[in-house]
Amino acid sequence: MEKLRNKFIAFMYGRNGADSLYKASVAVYFAMAAANLFLRSAILSILMWALFIWATFRCFSKNVYKRSLENQAFLRIEEKAARKFKMTKTMLTDKEHCYKKCSHCKAYLRLPKRSGTHTAVCPKCGEKLTVRIR
């Protein structure tokens, strides 16, 4: 068993291995497999195979630099989506504040929920905004 383990370690040396993008693609693969239990779609099966081949190729690829760039691009997208999800959750649960987007720099402004028309200054870009809160 130890011999087999050492052979695998020697095989994986210099290869990309399981990074975040690989783990996410495996998760997507299993979600697609679960969906395909009910849908029984040929197109979905082809997409699953393509995803499986691509994920396996990435895992065993020796071009670690290129795979690392792909993984970093994925992590940036994932972080952006997580930040947006968190912001949406905050906006939905926070009942004491009102959230408005700056028209100049697209930053979110957290304003106290007082009805009427107010002037707010964006802390990021300094733009003066006229905000109407109902």
Q: Give me the residues that bind Zn ion (CB under 5 A), please.
A: 102, 104-105, 107, 122, 124-125, 127
How many angstroms separate the CA atoms of 117 and 120, rounded? 10
**Min dist. Cβ of residue 133 to Zn ion (A):** 18
**Min dist. Cβ of residue 49 to Zn ion (A):** 47
How many angstroms separate the CA atoms of 38 and 86, rounded? 31
Closer to Zn ion by CB, 77 or 105: give it: 105
Closer to Zn ion by CB, 82 or 105: give it: 105
**Min dist. Cβ of residue 89 to Zn ion (A):** 22
**Min dist. Cβ of residue 102 to Zn ion (A):** 3
Place of tokens 């809160």: 133
Closer to Zn ion by CB, 53 or 105: give it: 105
What percent helix, strand, coil does the chain show, rounded to 5?
Answer: 60, 15, 25
First-residue to last-residue Cα distance in the chain: 69
How many angstroms separate the CA atoms of 29 and 21, rounded? 12
Closer to Zn ion by CB, 12 or 125: give it: 125
